[in-house]
């Protein structure tokens, strides 16, 4: 038997994710897994899903969340994400990874 989730539980999880993403400073990145850990009890996949469901014009710096292997996730907005990060002064190595010096926290 599976435990039923309250409809508000999903909303509070998204709010926790969005609060953490909003706190990532310009010129810094973090991983889906780090956000999941900071939000307590979430998974990186849930974080990715919540960010993927953001409405247009939301204003959150979604581009600052990357994979734990320091690469951008494979999604339709990856080229835009890279451009936004480069505009913030973040560079990539020759393998497409963000150097660790940009990681937050």
76 occurs within a structural domain = yes
1 occurs within a structural domain = no
27 occurs within a structural domain = yes
104 occurs within a structural domain = no
Residue pair 22/58 in contact (Cβ under 8 Å)? The answer is: no
11 occurs within a structural domain = yes
DSSP 67-93: -TTSS--SSTTHHHHHHHHHHTT----
Distance CA 10, CA 66 (A): 22
Range of the structural domain that residue 57 is part of? 7-97
Give me the pLDDT at residue 9, please: 61
Give me the pLDDT at residue 11, please: 78
Kindly report, residue by residue over 25-74, the tens digit of the pLDDT: 999 999 999 999 999 999 999 999 999 999 888 999 999 999 999 999 99
Give me the pLDDT at residue 10, please: 64
> 2-6, 13-17, 85-89: lowest mean pLDDT where?
2-6
54 occurs within a structural domain = yes
Give the pLDDT band of residue 4 (cuts 50, 70, 90).
very low
Domain count, the chain: 1
What CATH number corresponds to the domain at position 67?
1.10.10.10
Give me the pLDDT at residue 87, please: 98
> 4-18, 22-36, 49-63, 82-96: lowest mean pLDDT where?
4-18
Region 78-96: mean pLDDT is: 97
């Amino acid at each position: 038997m599976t435990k039923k989730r309250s409809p508000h539980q999903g909303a509070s999880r998204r709010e926790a994710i969005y609060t953490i993403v909003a706190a990532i400073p310009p010129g810094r990145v973090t991983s889906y897994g780090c956000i999941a850990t900071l939000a307590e009890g979430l998974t990186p996949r849930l974080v990715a899903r919540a960010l993927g469901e953001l409405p247009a014009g939301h204003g959150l710096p979604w581009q600052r969340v990357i994979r734990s292997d320091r690469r951008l996730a494979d999604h339709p907005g990856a080229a835009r994400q890279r451009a936004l990060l480069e505009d913030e002064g973040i560079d990539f190595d020759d393998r497409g990874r963000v150097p660790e010096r940009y990681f937050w926290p």
